[in-house]
Structure 1
Amino acid sequence: MATMDIARLQEIVDNAATNEQLLNQIRKNVTKVNSLLEELNEMLQPGYSPTPKERKPRAEGARKPGRPRKTEAAE
């Protein structure tokens, strides 16, 4: 009977460690969800206007990769 109690206690301790890790993951995810909901509420405000994203200009001579033009391919 004593060995069964020790085995049961070990199982409880193992489950507690697993549950603690799960709770920590849930807490992290809840904070992320809360921040995303705050952003969503901000976007749904009547006076919201999106800010344009600043883009860096391309380097000189750098072109988009892609299919070559017909005139360039013929040469």
Structure 2
Amino acid sequence: METAKQTILDFCESKSKSKSKFYFNDFTKLFPDAKAREVKKVLTALVNEEKMVFWSSGSTTMYGVAGAGKQANAEGEA
């Protein structure tokens, strides 16, 4: 689980110059032998640890690294 978490965080860091939000399918490609449910559990653990955040446009849910990207300025405002 810890290795999978680090793999996801490293992937997000490597793409941080061009993207701040990622689709769920972007992460399933990192683990071709894993079931989607297993990848979802890793992502949920990262969200619970506040290392990643959910972002929703209303029709699509994406994942981003906490504090990164344009949405970071609006986080915590409600």
The bucket for the TM-score relative to the shorter chain is under 0.3
TM-score, normalising length: structure 1: 0.25
Q: Which has the larger radius of gyration?
A: 1
Structure with the bigger RCO (C-alpha within 8 Å, sep 6+) is 2
Q: Which has the higher helix share?
A: 1
Q: TM-score, normalised by structure 2?
A: 0.24
Judging by fraction of residues, say which structure has more strand. 2
